[in-house]
Amino acid sequence: MTSETQGGDTIFGRILRGEIPCDAVHSDEHCLAFRDVAPQAPVHVLVIPRRPIPRLADAGEDDQALLGHLLLVAARVARQEGLEDFRLVVNSGAGAGQTVFHLHVHVLGGRPMAWPPG
């Protein structure tokens, strides 16, 4: 496997390769979902693609099915975690708060969410 198919050189790549343990809640051939180690809500799960895309702005037309899959998995995880209402967050770029440059969807819930978020 190349580093691309193993998740790249970020902490998420290391998680995908099994070098760092995680509390997984979903895994399939396209993505992995696991509990955030520094949760910002009672439920805080990250959904990451197995193929690294640094940020949403880097996704292309050929990523359309994968991006849709990530959202469907996020909704499935929210239901699995008992959430009726939840928030999905995707930060794209450092100025938007992205700290790990491997696309990921935050699934947040279990408490009221304020607006605007940041």
What residues are annotated to the active site? 104
H-state helical runs in the chain = 11-16, 64-80
**Residue 11 zone, left/alpha/beta (φ > 0; ψ -120 to 50; rest):** alpha
Q: Which of 63, 67, 61 is nearest to 48 (CA)?
A: 67
Q: What sections of 29-117 are H helices per DSSP?
A: 64-80
